[in-house]
Amino acid sequence: MALLSTPFQFKGLTLKNRVVMPPMCQYSVEAQDGTPTDWHFVHYVSRAVGGTGLIIVEMTDVEPDGRISNYDLGLWSDEQIPAYKRIVSEVHKYGAKIGIQIGHAGRKAEDAEVPVSASAIAFPGSRYKTPRALTTEEVKAMVVKFREAARRAVEAGMDTIEIHGAHGYLIHQFHSPLTNVREDEYGRDKALFGVEVIAAIKEVIPADMPLIMRISAVEYVDGGYGLDYSTELCRRYKEAGVDIFHLSSGGEGPIGSGGRPGIHPGYQVPFARAIKQALDVPVIAVGNLDDPKLAEAVIGNGDTDLVAVGRGMLRDPYWALHAIHALSAEEAQPPRQYARAF
């Protein structure tokens, strides 16, 4: 039996296979109100039809100024819930599970009049503004905004929630020494903001719902942190309540002495393996894993529990079906309407 097609179970989440569609912003909310559109409905449902085990909705922001652009999704209002509920309901019809990535762009919020961050340090590049450092009271209020977005996600029927702590966005800005030079409690303990967000979200999600967190395992900028630092971050976040880690890298600035990231297939798998072994937690690996044999190998070798395929799934909504069919034709389970093609 192809390992890629084997079920995965953790707490109350059972996936029919090990294939994950990771969050990928669509920048398609033409009304700029944060509410999913027909594009999002077709985009996500088509991947469910295509056999994906777990779909994670793109970065969805906790306040309007938390968006990368005004064309991004949000969950800052109860009025946005029905549009997400519609997507969830249809995705479930095809045997897929669906989660949502909750986040805040922080200093990378390009359309915010005045972005906010851990500290008043601008992201490099002419299109980025210098952010305003959040006050201590505002940080605590931001934790509540994450909690409320998670509550709305649960009400919409999501099967899991992923916290975005990677790619140079707000939580990453707090836990990186490069972007957090605060003198309050959130500067003295750089993991504290993330820990409080986790604890707040745990208050409003079902006890059997796994909580996922995405982390940049290494920074590539001059003076950026490495795997030892991120391992300890993940240890703190696991203690706070994270169940599964989704391991990526970079996103916090221009490449410097931290070394240029690889672009070869599987270049980020070692990060997933390291966190899995150090903390004994399930992990999701990502990064040029769209060759079915490679995806099968990283599961078979024990490097990861789940395989995320991003750009490969943008090219092919039916990647999961095609990959499982390539590994073991008899195990592919297309919708009955498409069975004659398999």
SS (HEC) of 271-287: HHHHHHHHHCCCEEEEC
The Cα–Cα gap between 307 and 163 comes to: 18
**131-175 tens-digit pLDDT:** 999 999 999 999 999 999 999 999 999 999 999 999 999 999 999
pLDDT tens column, 284-335: 999 999 999 999 999 999 999 999 999 999 999 999 999 999 999 999 999 9
Per-residue confidence (pLDDT) for residue 324, from 0 to 100: 97
Residue pLDDT, tens place only, 231-288: 999 999 999 999 999 999 999 888 887 677 878 999 999 999 999 999 999 999 999 9
Question: Residue 199 carries which side chain, given as an amino acid letter?
Answer: A
Question: What's the mean per-residue pLDDT of the chain?
Answer: 97
Q: What pLDDT does 258 receive? A: 65
pLDDT at 338: 94
Half-sphere exposure at residue 264, Cβ-oriented, CA atoms within 13 angstroms:
5
Residue 260 burial by Cβ neighbours in a 10 Å radius (0-12, 13-18, 19+): exposed
